[in-house]
């Protein structure tokens, strides 16, 4: 979910909670205020009616005329109900029904309080009209205020002042909706100030991850997001500088390796030639005793092996340098891989025979010709088979191949000592050897698998390894057919 959506959702949830709380709180407060106002109004009206009745001495006569006149003044909603009750609880006058049909009211809670000289209030259902009323009862006292001579009670339907509460609630909802709309406008403007720069940074990081190093982000303002954008731009600049330095150092290293390799190649070749000549002359020399000859040949053999190893290192360095730097040097052509390998495999016959290993090839019958650089492709299998022979003491080495419509799949499987899991991620690094003692014994340079990987990458392929200690190793190669 995007940040803007999260902000909007949280705003809506927060506003919904606030609206619900505000609605119930204001509704409660308005109802309480409305109830208080009606009680005050009815209490004041009671006092007015009481004073009028006492002044006109109408409690015993003419009260109907006076009370009906007062009641007529409240014909509009909310309708006021007026009741006159004697101290015995008998209803003397009732504005909304027949007084003689009404029960004795002495036990009504508001009446009981009024009989004690206080203002009594009650919200309950009228037993006569079967409706909820707010009742306010006040004592009617004689002219000198010393004795309660009757009770005047006014009331109003609860639904009348509840309707006012409802109207106010609707007003609250209306203003809350207006507030919500304004809130959304403010939130939209605010969220864009946050999300638009963040989206720009997100897109820039995607571009950067895909290899575009020329990407930048606009930094506006002085807030944290602008600081983030500035830091991103600085990071890109620093990375480009670092990358440029690394490329320069890598080129210097390559040039050094190539130059040193070329400088070593000629004298090493000369040394090898002189060693072989010296060996031939010593063998033909009849003056040297046999014991001395064996010692001399032993030393020459050691020198020859180490010279051969140095020459192999130089050749591998030159090959690696070429595969790392010159991708355009691939000379691709449609190649019959099976025939290519059959011509190449005899060079391992002596080594296989010495270690009593079998070399098996297994190609599917419909294996197609594929587009590869034949020389470099051959080098892949030369290095892999050479490695398999070095690290296998028994069993067999198997080369298998199959293909689908897009890719060719090759596996080189041996029954050797295997590779430790922690070494499997590093065996394609230059000069890395998983078994150093074995590598020294067999004359390994630590460059063979690195060369293999780079040749596979030049062909836009993939190479992986699966191995188990004591069981063997499988190298898997995937190459596009075209």
Taking only the tens place, the pLDDT of each residue in 366-412 is 899 999 988 888 889 988 998 899 888 888 999 999 999 899 999 99
Residue 413: pLDDT band with limits 50, 70, 90 = very high
* pLDDT at 322 exceeding the cut of 80: no
Peptide bond into 24 cis (omega under 30): no
* pLDDT at 62 exceeding the cut of 70: no
- What's the pLDDT score for residue 461? 92
CB 107 within 8 A of CB 89: yes
Helix 374-390 / helix 337-344 crossing angle, nearest 10 deg: 50
CATH class entry, domain 224-321? mainly alpha
* pLDDT at 244 exceeding the cut of 90: no
Residue 466: pLDDT band with limits 50, 70, 90 = very high
Ramachandran region, residue 343 (left: φ > 0; alpha: ψ -120 to 50; beta: rest): alpha
- With the CA atoms of 53, 57, 63 and 67 taken in that order, what torsion angle do they form, in degrees rounded to the nearest 10? -20
Average the pLDDT over 98-110 and give the result: 86
Residue 351: pLDDT band with limits 50, 70, 90 = confident
Average the pLDDT over 137-163 and give the result: 84
CB 273 within 8 A of CB 266: no
- What's the pLDDT score for residue 259? 67
- What's the pLDDT score for residue 408? 93
* pLDDT at 438 exceeding the cut of 60: no
Region(s) of the chain under CATH 1.10.287:
224-321
- What's the pLDDT score for residue 475? 94
Which residues fall within 8 angstroms of residue 47, CB to CB, at 6 or more apart? Answer: 138
Most confident of 229-233, 296-300, 441-445, 472-476: 472-476
- What's the pLDDT score for residue 445? 64
Q: How far apart are CA 200 and CA 218, in angstroms?
A: 8
- What's the pLDDT score for residue 278? 76
- What's the pLDDT score for residue 443? 54
Q: Which has the minimum average pLDDT: 35-39, 172-176, 241-245?
A: 172-176
Q: Does the reported pTM lie above 0.75? A: no
Q: Which tops the pLDDT comparison, 432 or 103? A: 103
Residue 437: pLDDT band with limits 50, 70, 90 = low
Q: Which tops the pLDDT comparison, 134 or 221? A: 134
Chain-wide mean pLDDT for the chain?
80
* pLDDT at 326 exceeding the cut of 60: no
CB 418 within 8 A of CB 472: yes
- What's the pLDDT score for residue 66? 73
- What's the pLDDT score for residue 237? 86
Average the pLDDT over 284-299 and give the result: 72
CATH topology of domain 3-165: Beta-Lactamase (3.30.450)
* pLDDT at 58 exceeding the cut of 60: no
- What's the pLDDT score for residue 473? 92
Region(s) of the chain under CATH 3.30.565.10:
331-480
Q: Which has the minimum average pLDDT: 119-128, 222-231, 468-477?
A: 222-231
* pLDDT at 199 exceeding the cut of 80: no
- What's the pLDDT score for residue 325? 62
Q: How far apart are CA 80 and CA 76, in angstroms?
A: 9
Tokens 């922690």 sit on residue? 422
Task: Read off φ and ψ for residue 248, nearest 5 degrees.
Answer: -65, -45
276: tokens are 């072989």
CB 288 within 8 A of CB 282: yes
Average the pLDDT over 336-358 and give the result: 89
Q: Which tops the pLDDT comparison, 219 or 365? A: 365
- What's the pLDDT score for residue 407? 93
139: tokens are 């004592």
* pLDDT at 476 exceeding the cut of 90: yes
- CATH number, domain 331-480: 3.30.565.10
Q: Which has the minimum average pLDDT: 97-101, 280-284, 369-373?
A: 280-284
Q: Which tops the pLDDT comparison, 309 or 77? A: 309
- What's the pLDDT score for residue 414? 92
Region(s) of the chain under CATH 3.30.450.20:
3-165
Q: How far apart are CA 444 and CA 387, in angstroms?
A: 9
Chain centre distance of CA 253? 41
Q: Is 84 exposed, middle or buried (0-12, 13-18, 19+ CB in 10 A)?
A: buried
SS3 189: helix
């Amino acid at each position: 979910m995007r940040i803007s959506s999260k902000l909007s959702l949280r705003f809506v949830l927060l506003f919904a909670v606030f609206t619900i709380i505000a609605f119930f709180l204001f509704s409660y407060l308005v109802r309480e205020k409305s109830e208080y106002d009606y009680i005050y109004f009815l209490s004041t009206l009671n006092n007015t009616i009481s004073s009028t009745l006492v002044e006109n001495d109408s409690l015993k006569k003419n009260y109907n005329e006076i009370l009906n006149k007062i009641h007529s003044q409240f014909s509009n909603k909310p309708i006021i109900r007026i009741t006159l009750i004697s101290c015995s609880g008998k209803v003397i006058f009732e504005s909304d029904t027949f007084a003689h049909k009404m029960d004795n009211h002495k036990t009504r809670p508001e009446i009981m309080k009024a009989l004690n000289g206080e203002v009594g209030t009650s919200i309950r259902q009228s037993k006569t009209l079967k409706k909820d009323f707010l009742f306010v009862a006040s004592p009617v006292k004689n002219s000198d205020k010393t004795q309660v001579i009757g009770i005047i009670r006014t009331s109003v339907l609860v639904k009348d002042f509840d309707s006012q509460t409802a109207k106010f609630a609707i007003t609250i909802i209306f203003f809350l909706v207006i507030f919500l709309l304004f809130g959304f406008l403010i939130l939209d403007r605010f969220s864009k100030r946050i999300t638009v720069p963040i989206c720009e940074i997100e897109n820039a990081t995607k571009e950067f991850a895909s290899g575009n190093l020329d990407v930048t982000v606009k930094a506006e303002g002085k807030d944290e997001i602008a600081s983030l954008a500035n830091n991103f731009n600085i990071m890109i600049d620093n990375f480009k500088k670092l990358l440029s330095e690394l490329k320069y150092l890598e080129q210097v290293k390559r040039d050094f390796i190539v130059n040193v390799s070329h400088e070593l190649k000629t004298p090493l070749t000369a040394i090898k030639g002189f060693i072989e000549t010296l060996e031939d002359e010593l063998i033909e020399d009849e003056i040297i005793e046999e014991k001395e000859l064996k010692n001399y040949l032993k030393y020459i053999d050691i020198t020859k092996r180490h010279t051969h190893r140095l020459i192999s290192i130089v050749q591998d360095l030159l090959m690696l340098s070429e595969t790392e730097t010159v991708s355009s040097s691939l000379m691709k052509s449609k190649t019959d891989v099976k025939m290519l390998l059959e011509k190449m495999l005899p060079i391992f016959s002596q080594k296989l025979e010495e270690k009593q290993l079998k070399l098996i090839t297994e190609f599917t019958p419909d294996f197609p010709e594929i587009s590869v650089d034949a020389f470099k492709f051959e080098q892949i299998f030369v290095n892999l088979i050479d490695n398999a022979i070095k690290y296998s003491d028994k069993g067999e080495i198997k080369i298998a191949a199959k293909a689908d419509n897009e890719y060719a799949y090759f596996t080189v499987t041996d029954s050797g000592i295997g590779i430790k899991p922690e070494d499997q991620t590093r065996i394609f690094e230059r000069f890395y050897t998983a078994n150093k003692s074995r590598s020294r014994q067999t004359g390994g340079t630590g460059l063979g698998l690195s060369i293999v990987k780079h040749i596979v990458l030049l062909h836009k392929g993939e190479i992986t390894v699966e191995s188990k200690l004591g069981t063997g190793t499988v190298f898997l190669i995937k190459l596009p057919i075209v």
